[in-house]
Amino acid sequence: MNGRNAIVERTSAVQRTAVPAVLAAAVLLLSACSGDGEDPPAKESNSASSPGKAGEPSRSADPDLPPAEGSAKVVKTLAEDLKSPWGLAALPEGDLLVSSRDEATITRIDAESGKKTEVGPVPGVAPAGEGGLMGLALSPAFASDHYVYAYFTTESDNRIARFQYDEKKPAGQQLGAPDTVLRGIPKGTIHNGGRIAFGPDKMLYAGTGETGETGLAQDKSSLGGKILRMTPEGEPAPGNPEADSLVYSWGHRNVQGLAFDKEQRLWAAEFGQNTWDELNQIGPGKNYGWPEVEGKGDEGAEFVNPLEQWSTADASPSGIAWAEGSIWMAGLRGERLWRIPLDGTKSLAEPQAFLEGEYGRLRTVVAAGENRLYVVTSETDGRGSPEGGDDRVLVVEVE
């Protein structure tokens, strides 16, 4: 599937960016739509790992750390012919729930056979542009309450609702009535965020976008351009930076990746505009700079620098997951799976790229246990070049 011609998810507004000095002059000449036509040449990928002894990936000196160079191999295509898949959540017994952004339905996928069964539609979804039915998450008490949480776009806002899931009911009728947890997240045709995840603290985290109105990211009274932290009922979580606020971190452009590592640290991926996409380690009350800074800025400034940054042609990141000591990041425009090996909150080695151009745009990554990931492609979202079988859920073995 090499040579797919994906359209970049970028805005039409020109923003101030903070980039290395050698790029500053070039940045001033960029228009905000510079990536919307012909994609600039992508950087050379380092996806081929250098072999260690007996062909194994080279290892770091500390056996508790991941290899400096890893590997990623698709071992199975679990499901095919999905339409605009976006969110993915694993049920306790191993089967998967996947959302369709544009069809506003949730489908169950058998973890062994890949058989698809429609769970039901989500009422009130108004798909348009980058909005629709997006992130999914299971309640921490799913075994008893059977709640599935969903982030979606309506005619008036983005919101989070929960639904009781009863698999004993007929296919297509297994979702209960929506119980709205949070409403009033700004919506737009672009930058709706959409990823949700329950943390180790059993609080619900949500990544939002600034909808193209860049000022929302620095406005702490707005829910746009933020990472939000709330109770399962949608109230400000205990220990938030401000007791009466859902805002956990701010200064974000469009957060679509959330993951926790084994030390319970939160990581997030977000889209840059024309220059730098980011992977950030998230701290409470921290400001990540948008729109004053895109990518890494001056050391010691009021904004937190990303751990890693990529050109927009190489990444345009959506979902992320932690597995085998590394963050794994899906690339939409970049059409590749990035591996970022970690030593605490620092990079252990340079990021590696895998699956480059093989399956097209990659939307979502979920840890599948042991050394495996589920990776969801995104060729049928209106910005890809779908081929037979698109879209897919892949099972990827990693190190």
The answer to whether residue 392 scores a pLDDT higher than 50 is yes
Per-residue model confidence as pLDDT tens digits over 311-344: 999 999 999 999 999 999 999 999 999 999 999 9
* Residue from 195, 193, 235 nearest 216 by CA: 193
Which token pair is 367?
């840890």
What are 296's two structure tokens? 């890494």
Tokens, residue 152? 């979606």
**Which residue, chain included where needed, has tokens 């976006």?**
86
User: Which range among 37-41, 50-54, 301-305, 351-355 has the greatest average pLDDT?
Assistant: 351-355
Q: What does the pLDDT look like over 191-216, one tens digit per residue?
A: 999 999 999 999 999 999 999 999 99
Query: Phi-psi bin for 94: left (phi > 0), alpha (psi -120 to 50), beta?
Result: left
- Tokens standing for residue 113: 């056979």
pLDDT tens for residues 15-59?
A: 333 333 333 333 333 333 333 333 333 333 333 333 333 344 555
Contact 384, 87 (CB under 8 A): no
Helix segments in 14-110, DSSP class H = 24-28
Q: State the pLDDT at residue 299.
A: 73
Residue type, 353: A
3-class SS of residue 297: coil
d(CA 373, CA 353): 15
Question: Given a cut of 70, is residue 253 above it in pLDDT?
Answer: yes
Residues with Cβ < 8 Å from 246, sequence gap 6 or more? 182, 223, 226, 228, 229, 230, 236, 237, 240
What is the full DSSP assignment across 207-258? E-B-TT-GGGGG-TTSSTTEEEEE-TTSSBPTT-SSTT--EEEE--SBEEEE
